[in-house]
Amino acid sequence: MLKIERPEGDFARNYDSFANGESVYFVWLNRGKESVVLDLARGDDKDLFAALLAKADVFVQNLKPGAIAKLGFPIAELRKKHPRLICCSISGYGESGPYTARKAYDLLVQAESGLASITGGPDAPARVGFSVADIGAGMNAYQAILEALIARNRTGEGATIAVSLFDAMAEWMTVPLLSHEGGHPFKRIGLAHAAIAPYGVFRSRDGADILISIQNDREWRVLARNVLGDEKLADDPRFATNSDRVKNRAATDALIAGAFARADVAPLMALLEKADIAFARVSNCALLSAHPHLRRISVGTPSGPVAMPAPAPVIDQARSYGRVPALGEHTERVRAEFS
């Protein structure tokens, strides 16, 4: 995979230097790529770019709508010239529509799509803590490209794909949107559930936050008997059904908060696990760094290896992970091959 960079490089290279001297953003998203520096304002670099496109399977670009055409490579013409080429354009609001020309960054799209309105606590909306709009658009592009490659095997024809950050987030907002349009708008309640109780965060004696989820009345009886140590609560009419517990949420939560505050986190989690109660420790990055379930891979970078979380798919085939390229590391080899 060739990554075409400006002479000054992808600006994500310089976001930070926290990954062994490299940008964590760049390291995460660029392993296994080859870096080629081109200045598409220069005729010889344009010629080289055209030669690359002539042999490419897939062309992905995220310049603002219309910019690639101004550089001399309109997508419609590329598709006519190279019928097998799959062209994927990623932008903030897509290639058409009233907001096409707007600048769009991740946080802006989180706000515009309504995602921020359902994230956070009761007092104010909040940003999802990482670039979910960017990542969501990339995942949609990846999926669409794979579909186009499969289709091309049957038809011999490439495809023109457009993916926007806004569309990616709007589609993920389907449940809140349709709930709202059905007369039941979502309410921000932080790490809790508006329709289920107990479903929220409670603190242990030694200061750890534990999120529990009781999905039905049978689980409530197990919690009351085996964790709270009060079997009478199982049949207490204030808590016997989920609707009762939601109606009496403050009293329900107070019972659990009191019990959790009398136990340290390790024995408390052991007790919850033994009772088969759904729970999670509310972790932070320090806890995730040492998490017993975290899988890692080692990726080479120009500044040395970086241990990072492994990709989610676990496949029964040998896999290797390419290194992160230095700026322009492969330019001369590519020039020699395609010039």
User: Which residues are bridge partners to 281 per DSSP?
Assistant: 210
Radius of gyration over every alpha carbon of the chain, rounded to an integer in angstroms: 26
Q: By three-state DSSP, how is residue 14 classified?
A: helix
Q: By three-state DSSP, how is residue 141 classified?
A: helix
Whether 193 sits among the annotated catalytic residues: the reply is yes
Q: Which helix (H) or strand (E) holds 26?
A: helix 24-29
Whether the Cβ atoms of residue 169 and residue 118 lie closer than 8 Å to each other:
no
What does the block give as tokens for 188?
Answer: 């921000």
Tally DSSP H helices, then E strands, for the chain: 14, 10
CA atoms within 13 A on the CB side of 313: 5
- Of 82, 180, 193, 330, which one is the catalytic site residue? 193
Return the number of other C-beta atoms located less than 10 Å from residue 273's C-beta. Answer: 10
State how far the Cα of 172 lies from the Cα of 186, in Å rounded to an integer: 14
State how far the Cα of 105 lies from the Cα of 184, in Å rounded to an integer: 30
- In the chain, DSSP assigns E strands to 2-5, 34-37, 58-61, 86-91, 159-164, 199-203, 209-213, 278-281, 296-299, 306-309
Residue with tokens 């040492």: 290
What does the block give as tokens for 255?
Answer: 């019972």
Supply the DSSP string of 34-48, one letter for each residue. Answer: EEEE--TTSHHHHHH
Residue with tokens 């055209």: 50
Residue with tokens 């005729």: 43
Q: Which are the catalytic amino acids? A: 193
